[in-house]
Structure 1
């Protein structure tokens, strides 16, 4: 004798089918599928975006470890500027402490350090303005805002290069420390400018803010 009567099976099968449909179309399962599909997207985007940056390995390393969202060209531009701003701010504080505590050193070294303090402070301001502009992009003013961002980041790079130039003729360990820190900031700032230019080009191709 069959375990299930034909009429019983005809009732159970639709219920099983309904359960399967509800489970596979539930928000939880959809989110899980979306998460799996997008899991590698940020990493892939970072690598493909950094390949032509001024310093690709630094670009990949800094943006891959970035904790915020980095899934669009706009995200990457903001992340790059945030990295540059954070490092410039740390160096600015270091230079200020160094300038305040410095007792010895040549006249040329003290002058170079004072100039560098001012230049990196200006870089911090310019990067802060850039980040604010990138956070408030609007379609009707996009081109003007991108021009501002590119100008400010370029100015930040110029300040960093000028600081480095001021230490060319300064000897000793202090020169080495300052040059190493400023060079690091200059490189991430150069990558930030590349990402901003890339965002500008992306808008030109798509016609909307990426």
Structure 2
């Protein structure tokens, strides 16, 4: 029978405890940060399951933008591959929506790059840029849906569900960014 030296066992237990404590602290940060978000349960669900680091408010803001960016890309893919307009009005609305969601993807990408390189001397300008870009992404998402007023309800309801989901996680991302100031 092999015995583990007491010192080695102590180190293993300490490291396990530290990892569990860090995970617990991360989940506490997520819970306390999401409580006042626009969509708290969605915030908690998306950020609790996020696999990257979430040890600081800045990490959470980046994670929230990554979630929003991922969902915007999925919506963009859905719009370009799965949706076809039957009427001319639907095709025009769809074309406009594809363009607006593509702009949202670009704005969220710029936001993520900005958040990854925050510096003290330019912090206020960088935060202003991030807030502006995420706000613009939200506007694009809302404008996308506006173009579908008066079109086939089946087309509209599928789009609305997907785009509203993107808008909700984007709203939560803006909230997380605003908390950094």
| Length-normalised TM-score, structure 2 | 0.90
Counterpart Cα distance in 2 of 1:151 and 1:164: 20
Give the Å deviation of 1:173.
1.2
Partner of 2:176: 195
Partner of 2:119: 138
- Write the deviation string for residues 100-141 of structure 1: whole angstroms up to 9, x where unpaired: xx3x61221111111001000000000000000111111111
- Say which is worse superposed, 32-41 or 106-115, in terms of deviation: 32-41
SS at match of 1:177: helix
Partner of 1:85: 69
Structure 2 gaps, min length 5: none
How many residues align? The count is 177
Counterparts in 2 of 1:64-103, with a 5 A limit?
64-98=48-82, 102=84
| Length-normalised TM-score, structure 1 | 0.79
Give the Å deviation of 1:37.
2.8
Give the Å deviation of 1:98.
3.8
Q: Note closer, same or farther for the CA distance 1:98–1:23 as it changes in structure 2 (3 Å cut).
A: closer
| Kept after mapping to 2: 8 A contact 1:85/1:127 | yes
Q: Note closer, same or farther for the CA distance 1:24–1:147 as it changes in structure 2 (3 Å cut).
A: same
Give the Å deviation of 1:40.
1.1
Counterpart Cα distance in 2 of 1:33 and 1:91: 40
SS at match of 1:89: helix
| Kept after mapping to 2: 8 A contact 1:167/1:179 | no
Larger gyration radius, structure 1 or structure 2: 1
Structure 1 gaps, min length 5: 1-18, 201-210
Among 84, 93, 116, the residue aligned to 2:97? 116
Counterpart Cα distance in 1 of 2:23 and 2:98: 42
